[in-house]
Amino acid sequence: MPYSYRGEIIISGLGKLKALPEEERPREKLMAQGTASLSNLELLTVILGTGCRGRGVTELAGHLLTAFGGLRGLATTDPWELSKVTGMGKAKAAQVTAALALGQRANQLDARQKRVVQSPADAAAVFCSDLRFLAKEHFRCLVLDVKNQILTNELVSIGTLNASLVHPREVFRPAISRAGAGVILAHNHPSGDPTPSREDLGLTKRLAECGNLLGIEVLDHIIIGDNTFISLREKGIL
């Protein structure tokens, strides 16, 4: 429905990198063939750079992917927790956390470069990298101009595991400051199930009413789950 205004887990078994032919070593392979040719294990091996006494870098990378449930687990693990793993320490934990954060930001940048949001799927693509793996509910507001071009994507609130406290003043502040014509709201369900709660429905109707008073249309409210989403516009709530 168009808008209009009204992880991979791999166990290490490769041994020491020096035993591999040079063209098969992750760093050399990346330089020669690009990142698409590398597995998650190999990419993490490049990020880590070195292993530790008794545990080679490939084995360390495999252990991290297995112990933390693949890339999804690593992306949501506190760096202090990573630093406790034998062979990691604060420096390597920071490297891994920073690399994964850069990847998430690159996804956001790619989505925003498209600029125009015309459907719930477009909106979900913008929000997914921000919200999909978070352990608490985060509420965001995407501000659009009259051509459905993105003006800004703002974090409004961070709630508990079960609820977000959202005030209309905070929701519409970025739209007012950017002279936005409409907003698309979004929040995640840490459970992975995007089915809207009674509170979600009530909040959506309240914000839509506030938007009408301000002349800023609430185009949609997207609920992000685990690799899925629900649009309250498509459900007929808006």
DSSP three-state, residue 188 = strand
The CA distance from 75 to 93, in Å, is 11
The CA distance from 166 to 208, in Å, is 13
> Does one domain contain both 158 and 60?
no
Residue pLDDT, tens place only, 196-208: 999 999 999 999 9
Asked which of 107, 124, 156 is the last residue of a domain, the reply is 107
**Does residue 5 fall inside a structural domain?**
no
Is the confidence at residue 108, as pLDDT, over 70?
Answer: no
Is the confidence at residue 6, as pLDDT, over 50?
Answer: yes
> Does one domain contain both 91 and 120?
no
**Does residue 123 fall inside a structural domain?**
yes
What's the average model confidence in pLDDT over 176-182?
92
Number of folded domains that form the chain: 2
What's the average model confidence in pLDDT over 21-36?
74
- Residue 10 has what pLDDT? 34
- Residue 8 has what pLDDT? 36
Residue 203 corresponds to which tokens in the numbers above?
Answer: 């909040």
**Average of per-residue pLDDT values in the chain:** 83
pLDDT band of 70, cuts 50, 70, 90: confident
Asked which of 107, 128, 158 is the last residue of a domain, the reply is 107
The CA distance from 177 to 174, in Å, is 5
Domain membership of residue 96 as a residue range:
17-107
> Does one domain contain both 100 and 128?
no
pLDDT band of 162, cuts 50, 70, 90: low
- Residue 104 has what pLDDT? 76
Residue 163 buriedness (CB in 10 A; 0-12 / 13-18 / 19+): middle
- Residue 7 has what pLDDT? 37
> Does one domain contain both 31 and 81?
yes
> Does one domain contain both 101 and 200?
no
Mention every residue, 6+ apart, whose C-beta is less than 8 A from residue 202. Answer: none
> Does one domain contain both 101 and 124?
no
**Strand ranges (E), the chain:** 138-144, 150-158, 182-188, 217-224, 229-231
**Does residue 238 fall inside a structural domain?**
no
The CA distance from 164 to 171, in Å, is 12
Residue 178 corresponds to which tokens in the numbers above?
Answer: 């950017």
CATH of the domain at 87: 1.10.150
pTM over 0.85: no
Is the confidence at residue 112, as pLDDT, over 60?
Answer: no
Half-sphere exposure of 151 (CA within 13 A, CB side): 19
DSSP three-state, residue 150 = strand
Is the confidence at residue 107, as pLDDT, over 70?
Answer: no
- Residue 9 has what pLDDT? 33
Is the confidence at residue 60, as pLDDT, over 70?
Answer: yes
What's the average model confidence in pLDDT over 23-49?
81
Asked which of 74, 107, 140 is the last residue of a domain, the reply is 107
Phi and psi at residue 158, in whole multiples of 5°?
A: -120, 120
Is the confidence at residue 29, as pLDDT, over 70?
Answer: yes
